[in-house]
Amino acid sequence: MSKKKVAILISGRGSNMEALIKACQDASFPASIELVISNKKEARGLEIAQSYGIHTQSVNRKNFPNDHEFDSKISAILKENNIEIICTAGYMKILTKEFVESWHNQIINIHPSLLPDYKGLNTHKRALDDGVQLAGCTTHIVESELDSGQILMQATVPVLKDDTEDALAKRILRMEHIIFPETLKRIATNEFRLNK
């Protein structure tokens, strides 16, 4: 079985990155993490990826005149490594339209809300402020409009009466670690019918 070559883009610790790496260690998993790229050289996730023997790179946005040049560099690195699927896992930078279009249907993201609700940041606070009874997470195809691409998988958790942002975030994160690897598996085996 030939495994799909995957790169993960991160900005921080990369707990979802680690969940993906662990899933890919299974010999029967249809994808292999070839590369982890961070836009922050101090990202803890780089050390974690290295501890699994994965090639890492950091690319500093400040070294480029604009976002387009920065994303072009990232894209060139991905192509050099024959990457087929990109996972964004806590990557705190909006991808340019050109980048997204050049990797059409090949970028998947995990978002800590039940999209289309609570796009963007502070998802848990907004959910608690609204008094919702269910929260959760979503994997989706990345489009140029933020958090708007085709939804692939979702997982829900109940919102408890005395929930704090932190407590809710921890319960949702556990679900993220389940559905992100499962989404990658299904993308790698072409199980989703993706929009054109």
Residues involved in catalysis: 111
User: 63 is written with which tokens?
Assistant: 């070294």
d(CA 23, CA 28): 10
48, 98, 126, 156 from 173: Cα distances, Å: 18, 30, 17, 11
d(CA 110, CA 185): 14
d(CA 160, CA 19): 26
70-99 burial, b at 16+ Cβ within 10 Å, e below that, comes to bbbebbeebeebebbbbbbbbbeeebbeeb
Q: What single DSSP character describes residue 123?
A: H
N- to C-terminal Cα separation, the chain? 26
- SS3 of residue 40 by DSSP: coil
